[in-house]
Structure 1
Amino acid sequence: MFLERIEVTSLILIYCGVVGALHRRSIDLIQAHGLISDSRLPLDITPVSYDLELIATPENEKFFGKVKIVATWVEETKKIHLHADEKFEILEAKITHIGNDDKNNSSSTAFTPVRIGVERAVVRRGSPDLTIFLEKPVKQGSQCEIEISFTKNLPNTTTDAIFHSSYVDSRTKDNQWFISTYLRPNLARKLFPCFDEPAFKAPFTIHVARQKEMTSISNMPLDRTEDMKEKPGWVWDHFKQTPPMSTFSVAVVVSNFASISANQSKDLDIRVWARPDFMPSLLNVTDKVEKIIRVLEDFWKIKFPLPKLDIVALPNFQVNRPADSWGLLSYKESELTSKGSWNLAHEISYQWLGNLATPYWWSDAHINTALVRFLTAYTVLKIDNVDAGNNWPMTMLYSIYYEFSKRYPHGKSTVIKQDSTSAKIELVFRMLNYTLGEQTFKEGLQKFMKDRQYKNFFGDDIWNALTEQAKICKKLDDDVSVNDIAASWITKDRLPVVDVARNYDGKSAVLRQKLFLRERPHDVPDQDKFVWWVPIVLLTQSNLDFSDSKPKLWMKMEKEVKMDNVANPDEFIIINPEEIGPFPVNYDERNWNMLARFLQTDGRTKIPVNTRAKLIHDAWNLAYAGDLSFATALNMTLFLKNERESLAWDPVFTFIDHIGRHIESPGIQEKFQSYIRNLLTPLYKDLDEPSDDENESKAHLRSSCEVFLCGAGYKPCIEEAQAAYKKWMEMDNPDEGNPIANKYLCPVFKWGTWDEWYFGFQRVLKFPADRKQSERTYLLKTLAGCPNDPSTIEKFLNFTVLTQDEHFKDNDLYLIYNMLTGNPKGYSTLFEFLRENFDKIKKRFEAKPHLWNSLVTSATTVFKTQEGMDKISKLYEERKGDFGTADFVIEKAMKDIKEEVAWSNDNLPVIENWLDNYLKETKAKSVK
């Protein structure tokens, strides 16, 4: 073991370039992580095992390490390519030839280790690539031990590969420190020099130095502890050797944490670690973990792959997601105290898929991530978590429908593309689980895991295993492969819609698939060439068997198919029930109307809530896209007067918001708000008062209902908000803090008095510097975005834009402009303000063109009607040449608004006519 600093013997660092090697890829996807480069290590040397020693001393803000890598020379070479952070200080490097990996040589002659000289080491500037040049080539089949001693700073930040942090023990008031690692996705190179690619799996033997009163944990159970002779009060913890694993799976935590163990696990040691005073909050975690592991063991038919699992609650842990190292999971404290099991199930799923079986390269990490997410949902549903059932998969579906139906999906955001791609692949797994049957699906994945455990895999390995099992179970024709099905969905940043045209006399139907486009114009190039493998699962009104998910047929990259003997003329049909595949379905008007009428009867519960939600969601999305009449879509909401399931309501709130933003006419707005009040009031009255033990879905439903009812002018809601707000206005010192819930602010600023709004405005002007600035930001957002009175908005703009008050900085103005675009009254008033004060505003911002451009953008780009278009065109003609840097903004605005005008002309008369009839009938019923 080493402790003291070792002088550099034969290592000279210079900078140069390193050329990577080519690797095989499966179904091509974008890089799984934006920070993963394409630089690859050559395949001439592969690791056989690692021996890693670590000692960290927070008081010196340093850590020291020594890594011994036994490696095999696949090809003769005199260069060793490794990953190593350029911030390492290398203390010593030794290369020793220790044997030959010659399976054909039966000689038992002992091999005498031979030291190999090192000429120099080369680190590429700005890149973690280390090349060690040897004095002579090492022959193919040789095994050498690469030993590197190093040191590096130990940061006090939880975003690095190894870090230290601290917390105050509430019992002793002492400051306690701890050390932890966080190596996902490719940060092992910042902890020790290594072959830091997922395909280079090897066993690890890990040794950790610590103070005697502390505890260390790692991937495997502790083997033995011995005193550190050269440093009194310190010991070495030696851990048992791991199975072969990737470098990112390495984990170490050194702390004074307390722990609790699971009671029921006999062959698996489950422990939860946390600071002692936080431990009472985690008493139910081990029970959750045991349930999750039982479900996953049953799914994979493979026991938990290690003898122990440690779960750590880290104070002040600031990363985006937990550390899911093999056998050691580290979470934020808040993540382990949540009611549900999602966070635990998600990271535990990686113990099999990601650690036991590992993607060859990051291009397959999307498939790995997607399958883990599917398994997480599967697991949580199996252990009867209600919220998981209500949140999955519909919430995810809505977001990817919106994203993939845009003219330009993802924009320039790599992160959005990564997330939406993984979500879509997860839904492909869900589709296969339904269409192949759960048992076939599980057996196919079990076959895959049995073959690839302790190894690496490509995405194709998963699809091939599923294909093989599907053929055995006769779930797919011989000429069909799961790879073909999956590729048709994964390789397109798009989704289809299936149009169904029924021939009621002939009991047949023609199904056509096409690209689903929600935004206008529908001018995506080559859209007629987009086709998918689409499973057609069909149910009829007389046979609503939602357990039957076997497709009647597959649309095998076909634009159109015909189905015979579909249903009787007086029966509705449902295609793609339970959202088995990620695609909406459009029916002819007659079938939609039969569905709408049936949902208003007591028989609607024969249709599960997932499918009820799907029918509403499909209808509104298709109407928004111009493929269905809004009258039909609005008819699909009539059954909601008796609906109390939060999942069925989720899409409704989204569409109320979307359509509300398109209605600029005060007359239609008033009718639409009456419709909202009639729709939501019965639900609001039926919802009980909040309770401590209610599930998250019900709480979310109540909150959304209140927000939209208040926004629509529901008097009891407004009166409640004003009563709460009055308490703030009557405080002796209202600037000490806001004593009321944020939900009350917008109703007061929208429907309340000028005095109430002005009181809120004064709180922004007098906001104390020592209070949380996020509170001021929220208050400013509601002051700008909520008012319904143009005169209030105009006064606000006069004060913030023209007066140049010191209280309002540039970021405040950006926020105000943006919030005004969400309300027709807001952006209409902003436009009039710009028109009337054009010269003053332009002069005010002549040194800040970014603010001028932002104001012009917010004032001109969100109109939806011909009246708005005419206003902008007139202003442009009157001020031609005066817009300066914002000239391109208004030209683009006029082009885009033409599409909005076409949408409004097509749909607003239909919506208004339906609202007139609805409100007339509602009034007649109330009179009776």
Structure 2
Amino acid sequence: MAKCCRVSKWCVIGVVVALGAVATIAALWTITLTGNDTTTPWTSYRLPTTLVPLQYTVTLWPRLTPDPNDLYLFTGNSTVEFECVEETDLILIHSNKLNYDVLHNKHFGLLSAQDGVLVPGVRSSWLERTTQYLVLQLNGMLVSGQRYRLYTEFTGELADDLAGFYRSEYVEDGLRKIVATSQMHPTHARKTFPCFDEPAMKAVFHITLIHPRGTTALSNGLETSHIDGVDVTRTTFEPTKKMSSYLLALVVCDYSNRTTQQGDTLIRIWARRKAIEEGQGDYALNVTGPILDFFQEYYNITYPLSKSDQIALPDFYFGAMENWGLVTYRETNLLYDPLTSSSGNRETAVKMIAHELAHMWFGNLVTLRWWNEVWLNEGFASYVAYLGADKAEPSWSMKDLIVLDDIHRVFAVDALASSHPLSSFEDSIVLPHKIVEQFDAISYSKGAAVLRMLSDMLSEKMFVQGLSSYLNHFAYGNTVGKDLWEHLQMAVQLNKVVLPATVEDIMNRWVLQMGFPVVTIDTTTGTVSQKHFLLSPEPDLKSPYNYEWLIPIRWMNSKEVQKDPWWLLHNRAENTGMKTTGDEWVLANVNVTGYYRVHYDRGNWDKLLGQLRADHRVIPLINRAQLVDDAFNLARANIVPSTQALQTTVYLSAEREYIPWQSALDNMQYYYLMLDRTDVYGPMQDYMRNLVTPLYLYFNATSGWTDVPEGHMDQYNQVNAVHMACSTGLEECQNLTTSLFRQWMDNATHNMIHANLRSVVYCSAVAAGGAKEWEFGWSQFKNATLASEASKLMSALTCTRDKKLLEKFLSYTLQPTMIRKQDATAVITSIASNREGQGLAWDFVRDNWNYMFTQYGVGSFNFAALISGVTARFSTAAELQQLVEFRGKNSAAGFGSAELALEQALERTEANILWLQQNKHNVLQWFTNQTLPHYHMV
């Protein structure tokens, strides 16, 4: 390819000829490695600070048809302009799985400089595969303060591995179509072109894509020119803002779009043509503008780009990715059909859109310096996503759902001794798989929880004031977490607010030590104390703050709505005002604004349980869920008896609200995992069936099963009612779901089941049916045109009790033509959640681990979720031994991002064994002795 090529028809033809001279894939890996020394800079996983990129000019040409060896390739060239900030004779630039054309000086790159400045020659060059570098050793020194340019030509594989520049496939109108798309985050830009692939190495990107005529090319910037050649189109994009390499996005597709204008911003939703024609992108289009407007006001910074593209991809590893100006999504997370999608699908879409758009400022405009503080980026977006979604759907009470979806979720992980702090030392997070490991529930959900607590502690007005100052000050730059604390402290001082310590001192205790406290309140004395909460206490755990937190406590008692908040500054406080007399009770952590659990003396617990039974509405909605969740987890930690935790569920026969019910069902799931293979299962099913029947009757009377309630939360609780009634054997419910599914089987083109109820009806009917129902579900799954509908069917197929069908379905997860790689983990873990499938799924993972790990790689399987999912039921010594043997057998191949998940699985299994030994007898007795009234259908 010509080094400098003007845009013209003949230039494009020349590019076609030059780039077309590509051999087979074998040539991709025939680079000779030389000069490798274990003590040299190229053995470090971190780039030296001697060179700083300024801008890239990149041309890429993805082939959407295979070569004679049935391989999909892309070819390209790149010029990176960089500044030398410290004299050096070495260029290190990231490169992974790229083959380089040897240029006329017999090296992989050509070096030049501006203004005719002489540059040293390249003495040697090679690829360092372990640390993923292209290395160029020079004959002389690069001069500090001088700018240079490095030009390379290269070839890569457009593989279906969901990483870097990759291939996605789908069928439309009977035709197989290819999408070339990208996932650069966190370390895959280097798989697309040579680059300084670290978040602090920000630069401007000038992108050109060469693609087949009739296809569309997209990138971060708006298209500025289209030049058609003989067989191809050359599309050039406006330069990006200064940004990190992981935010680059590239797409070539045969898509269409829906478009609107929000102020000066062009908004486009891209998807398969059929999906756009059916209106599946309309909801995303309608909410994107209001969410963008909300964040512009929230941050007090105008959206910095000319357009906001969002695109739905058939194959995508993450849920979505915040590429600046071109956000990529799984289809299920962006597309919504008002006729066949559920309320949950709509909520997923609006929350996902809000999460990704929040990153346009926090993460993209201002970027954390290194991956050891992933939590601040992802936790912040997770928190404010609820605010953005609430703006778009104000009637849904979205802000309340963070307690269920994030806080309660992450408590379960952060109560393990194998948990980890939000922030780590930079030097401990350098390997690519260690970077991926940071994107876990701790970063997303605990991060959201502690930032929500901080916003409540300061007031939202002050929090936003400091946040806006931070973003304006560091725009287009990089930061560390301390920088945010300093700007929030400036807001505190500006507002003359008195805190017990600086923002940094307060937050360091929540960020630099793992876990969270349990606050114990003795209402007989008014004493309040704190202690590190662990499901299985470990005496040797170390912490820089000795597991002591500065805790803001909001509380109320039975006589007053809410008391002024106060701070627990040490392990113990006397005379707190929380002493009660008579029937008075105390309730702490009102609305769960604090990231901690609460325990009371037995008398106060009894009064709170009595209040729930007498009139549960006196206790705030979120705190009803909190009481259930705290009690069950205090019981798991042997702080209160399991029977006391179970007592918190008795009042639910009178409860109609979703959040407390969901909290109870989430916690009862642990009891099912531990006890559904024991003699406790029958009495437990009887109790839960009687408990849920009033809720089932309530929804049957108010909306029936052909309609849904008006309220968003009520719609969720209707699903809970059907799910629990059917799964616990309520005959009327099982007849309902079986009948609805059979009607659909009799008329496959006319599905009368309401979208909200489809997941639970499908699962119940498949579980009650046999091969005929399963095969019908499979055929509907393969023919589904809406991704969310396909997802419901895929999940339902894992509900069958037929082990042969489950084994067949497991085998499909290693066949991408049957189950997409992005969905394989979900299928395996869902089968593991089935009583009949748990052993099958575990055996499957054990038998195929090495193949999945080495052949599929991190772009296909979520190995951490896989380990967590298939071991969730483990509660016997034999299962613990199997897990230990699994770790030993596969230690050579490794576990990648699942290393921590494996340690947590071992810890959880040991805790489960102990819990079962200590609690099974008492729990059996409790369920057997319950005398809830029996309800009958009218």
TM-score bucket of the superposed structures, by smaller chain: 0.7 to 0.9
Across the two proteins, how many residue pairs are aligned to each other? 771
Q: What's the CA shift for 1:622? A: 2.2
Is 1:616 paired with 2:646? no
Q: Which position in structure 1 is the counterpart of 2:596?
A: 583
Q: Give SS of 1:448's match.
A: helix
Q: Which position in structure 2 is the counterpart of 1:286?
A: 285
Is 1:132 paired with 2:136? yes
Distance in 2 of aligned mates of 1:382 and 1:372? 15
Alpha-carbon spacing, 1:500–1:346, altered in 2? closer, same or farther (3 Å): same
The TM-score, its normalising length taken from structure 1, stands at 0.73
Distance in 1 of aligned mates of 2:642 and 2:217? 63
Q: Which position in structure 2 is the counterpart of 1:751?
A: none
Q: Give SS of 1:392's match.
A: helix
1:628-647 matches, within 5 Å, as: 628-630=640-642, 632-647=644-659
Q: Which position in structure 2 is the counterpart of 1:828?
A: none
Q: Which position in structure 1 is the counterpart of 2:512?
A: 491
Q: Which amino acid aligns with 2:245?
A: T
Alpha-carbon spacing, 1:691–1:336, altered in 2? closer, same or farther (3 Å): farther
Which residue, out of 556, 564, 569, partners 1:556?
569
Is 1:188 paired with 2:192? no
Which residue, out of 511, 515, 533, partners 2:550?
533
Q: Which position in structure 2 is the counterpart of 1:54?
A: 60
Distance in 2 of aligned mates of 1:326 and 1:252? 11
Q: Which position in structure 2 is the counterpart of 1:356?
A: 365
Alpha-carbon spacing, 1:740–1:189, altered in 2? closer, same or farther (3 Å): closer
Q: Which amino acid aligns with 2:54?
A: V
Alpha-carbon spacing, 1:657–1:271, altered in 2? closer, same or farther (3 Å): closer
Deviates more, 1:382-391 or 1:349-358: 382-391
Structure 1 residue runs without a partner (length 5+): 23-36, 99-110, 732-738, 749-755, 787-810, 824-853, 864-891
Alpha-carbon spacing, 1:726–1:304, altered in 2? closer, same or farther (3 Å): closer
Q: What's the CA shift for 1:437? A: 0.9
CA offsets, 1:207-237, max 9 Å, x none?
A: 233455443222222334456xxx5354533
CA offsets, 1:728-747, max 9 Å, x none?
A: 9999xxxxxxx995544698
Q: What's the CA shift for 1:682? A: 0.9
1:339-350 matches, within 5 Å, as: 339-340=346-347, 341-350=350-359
Q: Give SS of 2:258's match.
A: strand
Higher relative contact order (CA 8 A, sep 6+): 2
Q: Which amino acid aligns with 1:334?
A: T
Q: Which amino acid aligns with 1:363?
A: N
CA offsets, 1:760-802, max 9 Å, x none?
A: 599999x99999998998476467999xxxxxxxxxxxxxxxx
Q: What's the CA shift for 1:160? A: 3.2
Alpha-carbon spacing, 1:401–1:416, altered in 2? closer, same or farther (3 Å): farther
Alpha-carbon spacing, 1:661–1:248, altered in 2? closer, same or farther (3 Å): closer
Distance in 1 of aligned mates of 2:588 and 2:520? 10
Q: Give SS of 1:582's match.
A: coil
Q: What's the CA shift for 1:571? A: 2.6
Q: Which position in structure 2 is the counterpart of 1:598?
A: 611
1:175-254 matches, within 5 Å, as: 176-226=177-227, 231-232=229-230, 234-254=232-252
Larger radius of gyration: 1
Q: Which position in structure 1 is the counterpart of 2:411?
A: 401
Distance in 2 of aligned mates of 1:13 and 1:496? 52
Q: Give SS of 2:101's match.
A: strand
Q: Which position in structure 1 is the counterpart of 2:274?
A: 277
Q: Which position in structure 1 is the counterpart of 2:690?
A: 678
Q: Give SS of 1:5's match.
A: helix
Q: Which position in structure 1 is the counterpart of 2:886?
A: none
Which residue, out of 123, 127, 131, partners 2:127?
123
Alpha-carbon spacing, 1:129–1:822, altered in 2? closer, same or farther (3 Å): closer
Distance in 2 of aligned mates of 1:94 and 1:564? 74
Distance in 2 of aligned mates of 1:566 and 1:371? 37
Q: What's the CA shift for 1:241? A: 2.2
Distance in 1 of aligned mates of 2:778 and 2:240? 55
Deviates more, 1:323-332 or 1:294-303: 323-332
1:414-813 matches, within 5 Å, as: 418-422=439-443, 423-477=445-499, 480-503=501-524, 509-519=526-536, 522-525=537-540, 529-545=546-562, 551-553=565-567, 555-564=568-577, 569-602=582-615, 604-630=616-642, 632-659=644-671, 672-687=684-699, 688-691=703-706, 697-698=713-714, 700-717=716-733, 743-744=763-764, 760=770, 778=798, 781=801
- For the 8 Å contact 2:798–2:831, the answer to whether it is kept is no
Alpha-carbon spacing, 1:586–1:147, altered in 2? closer, same or farther (3 Å): same
Q: Which amino acid aligns with 2:529?
A: R
Distance in 1 of aligned mates of 2:780 and 2:289? 46
Distance in 1 of aligned mates of 2:676 and 2:79? 70
Q: What's the CA shift for 1:124? A: 1.2
Alpha-carbon spacing, 1:404–1:239, altered in 2? closer, same or farther (3 Å): closer
Q: Which position in structure 2 is the counterpart of 1:85?
A: 96
- For the 8 Å contact 2:268–2:308, the answer to whether it is kept is yes
Q: Give SS of 1:563's match.
A: coil
Q: Which amino acid aligns with 1:135?
A: N
- For the 8 Å contact 1:724–1:740, the answer to whether it is kept is no
Q: Which amino acid aligns with 1:269?
A: L
Q: Which position in structure 1 is the counterpart of 2:300?
A: 301
Distance in 1 of aligned mates of 2:219 and 2:415? 46
Q: Which position in structure 2 is the counterpart of 1:68?
A: 79
Aligned-residue Cα RMSD (Å) equals 4.6
Q: Which amino acid aligns with 1:597?
A: G
Q: Which position in structure 2 is the counterpart of 1:259?
A: 257
Q: What's the CA shift for 1:360? A: 0.9
Alpha-carbon spacing, 1:127–1:691, altered in 2? closer, same or farther (3 Å): farther
Distance in 2 of aligned mates of 1:490 and 1:169? 48
Alpha-carbon spacing, 1:442–1:592, altered in 2? closer, same or farther (3 Å): same
Distance in 2 of aligned mates of 1:776 and 1:635? 32
Alpha-carbon spacing, 1:634–1:115, altered in 2? closer, same or farther (3 Å): closer
Distance in 1 of aligned mates of 2:283 and 2:765? 38
Deviates more, 1:379-388 or 1:429-438: 379-388
Distance in 1 of aligned mates of 2:679 and 2:61? 73
Distance in 2 of aligned mates of 1:322 and 1:728? 33
Distance in 2 of aligned mates of 1:175 and 1:630? 55
Q: What's the CA shift for 1:713? A: 4.5
Is 1:16 paired with 2:36? yes
Distance in 2 of aligned mates of 1:405 and 1:541? 30
CA offsets, 1:681-723, max 9 Å, x none?
A: 1111011334566677545534443444445453434555787
Q: What's the CA shift for 1:511? A: 0.6
Q: Which amino acid aligns with 1:378?
A: L
Is 1:378 paired with 2:387? yes
Distance in 1 of aligned mates of 2:141 and 2:910? 69
Q: Which position in structure 2 is the counterpart of 1:320?
A: 318
Q: What's the CA shift for 1:473? A: 2.5
Alpha-carbon spacing, 1:217–1:542, altered in 2? closer, same or farther (3 Å): same
- Aligned-pair identity in percent equals 22
Q: Give SS of 1:277's match.
A: helix
Q: Give SS of 1:120's match.
A: strand
- For the 8 Å contact 2:578–2:586, the answer to whether it is kept is no
Q: Which position in structure 1 is the counterpart of 2:861?
A: none
Q: Give SS of 1:79's match.
A: strand
Q: Give SS of 2:116's match.
A: coil
Q: Give SS of 2:243's match.
A: coil
- For the 8 Å contact 1:511–1:560, the answer to whether it is kept is yes
- For the 8 Å contact 2:217–2:251, the answer to whether it is kept is yes
Q: What's the CA shift for 1:648? A: 0.8
